[in-house]
Structure 1
Amino acid sequence: MSLKSLQKQLFLKAQDLVPQHQLSRVVGKVAASENKIVKNVVIQAFKAKYGIDMSIAEQKNALKYKSFNEFFTRSLKTTARQIDTAQEAVVCPADGAISQIGAIVEGDVFQAKGQSFSVEQLIGDPKLAMPFKNGQFATVYLSPKDYHRVHMPFDGKLTETLYVPGELFSVNQVTAENVSGLFARNERMVCLFDTSIGRMAVVLVGAMIVAGIETVATGKVKPTGRLELQHHDLALNKGDELGRFYLGSTAIVLFEQDVMAWEEQFKAQSAVVMGERLGHLTK
């Protein structure tokens, strides 16, 4: 076995051995700290490690943020991202990279290299998942350096949110290729919408050391260890903020069958920015 293979196996084994939720809670407390020494040290180290571009941030001075969480979920200048306003455009919900994109085949969502999971597992409720059985999906991975707010890919009315408890595996290429059903096993918040072309879902997936998920309808999610369904009646326009990650992970967008198509240039590993055209209506 090569050194690289051995390192990969050790990393994957550690995913099971590490106390995922406890570690994430500890990181969450540090990230929320408003102690100037603590938050400044963490922000400076993070900024240096990941080469954060503060020129597009509304507040350019990283040390002006009250906590690491506030820095991490920083807003951008209004001119930093342009929303494709064409009526037929479906836009990318977040900055990052495409993990996978394509059709949901007989209820299965492709994950990576022979790995897939069912849309029922992802949504967490068979009835709510039914409209997407043969629809379309796009999985967008947000890396640590990215802007970490998630926006609406299309106009819609938020009708339900479903908190689904789960594990907190790291989310990256190695785990996507080797952890079965990764995105349907991790903790997540499912947001469901009525739109002019049918049902739409945006799933915010947690990961190890993600200190929290927040949506405009629910506020910051408080993990309870059980499914929690809430009903809403909230109209949101394309490009409106839907939620944010306190430390990053993944957003998955789902549409029904035969109502839209993804733009052909996007494939796994394609870099994307929030607001750019990711697909278009066909209905």
Structure 2
Amino acid sequence: MVWFLAQQAGLQRLDLLHAAGKETRLAKLTGGKAPDVDWTLIADRINKRFKYKPGKDAFCPSSYLTYEDWFLRALSPATHELCMAQAALADVCAPVQGKAWEQVPSGEMSLKISIIAVSELLRLLDGHRLLQLRLRWPDYHRVHSPVDGKITDVCCCQKDELFPGAESLTIFSFSTAFGLVRLLCIGEWSVQSFVAMAKVGDEVAKMDELGHFDLGSQVILSLPKGADVLFEGSPRLFPGDPIADCGKAKELPREADETTTRNRSFAE
């Protein structure tokens, strides 16, 4: 209905994109009918509007009959191979595409809408360092393992469960060679919009798929003591990009550094 009314009102192209997104989100939340639109055209316009990278040929499929075809597109075999090569350069890799922030040990951080003291979230997660990656609407929405290890817990928390005011979210706990790593997958505020594929007991390697988001999202990584973050500022990252070393003290050769820079341009 929002999409139809937007068309009838003669809204500008960007407004029509927002209308399509709003009606699609409402349909996903309520189980209603999604708008009947050309999702390949919508995706092309969104990519142009947000200057999205990488190009469509980095994914499968590259044309879309439905919203899910676009939102849940997979990495192409060639892209996945490049991401795997990136992931091998560090102990911890980016699990998603998004903009990264490293949270300082003191102060507050915001999730989707809630705010919590960083020290309190570290206490709840039994962690030492937090990294936050926020996804935009056009970003790739599948989530990959950031580490090599074993999944020891998958906790699906409902709204207010992790702490008062908290969003609904899913927490993966990984036992690794360098300690406990946790990954928070935060979807919509009031409903669980992360679909987990991996389960407790699974042995995973970096870039193994853990699940996907159905709606807007962000992730938070909780890392153990000794983690050395490999980025500065708030870079745009792509799955597999090296983000932390945890005690192995690797020294990357010059050509590996060049590969890292080149491949990271996927998301920059």
Both structures adopt the same fold (TM-score exceeding 0.5):
yes
Give TM-score scaled by structure 1 length. Answer: 0.64
Alignment-mate amino acid for residue 237 of structure 2 = V
Stretch deviating more after TM superposition (200-209 or 185-194) = 200-209
Q: CA deviation at 1:30?
A: 8.1
* Structure-2 change in CA distance of 1:191 and 1:47 (3 Å): same
CA distance in 2, matches of 1:190, 1:119: 18
Alignment-mate amino acid for residue 228 of structure 2 = A
* Structure-2 change in CA distance of 1:144 and 1:211 (3 Å): farther
1:133-212 pair list within 5 angstroms = 135-166=128-159, 185-207=166-188, 212=193
* Structure-2 change in CA distance of 1:85 and 1:190 (3 Å): closer
Gaps of 5+ in 1: 1-22, 168-180, 219-231
Contact 2:132 2:219 in 1 (8 A): yes
Gaps of 5+ in 2: 1-22, 249-268
**Residue number in structure 1 paired with 2:42:** 45
Give TM-score scaled by structure 2 length. Answer: 0.67
Report the RMSD for the aligned CA atoms in angstroms: 3.5
Contact 1:91 1:274 in 2 (8 A): yes
Equivalent position to 1:255, from 223, 227, 247: 223
CA distance in 1, matches of 2:42, 2:238: 25
Q: Deviations over 1:9-41 (max 9, x none)?
A: xxxxxxxxxxxxxx99733068886x8xx4544
Contact 2:92 2:242 in 1 (8 A): yes
- Structure with bigger RCO (C-alpha 8 Å, 6+ apart): 1
* Structure-2 change in CA distance of 1:160 and 1:153 (3 Å): same
1:9-28 pair list within 5 angstroms = 26-28=26-28
**Residue number in structure 1 paired with 2:77:** 78
Contact 2:25 2:215 in 1 (8 A): no
CA distance in 1, matches of 2:148, 2:138: 28
CA distance in 1, matches of 2:245, 2:62: 34
Match of 1:79, SS? helix
* Structure-2 change in CA distance of 1:161 and 1:211 (3 Å): closer
**Residue number in structure 2 paired with 1:236:** 204
Contact 1:31 1:211 in 2 (8 A): no
Query: How many residues are matched?
Result: 214
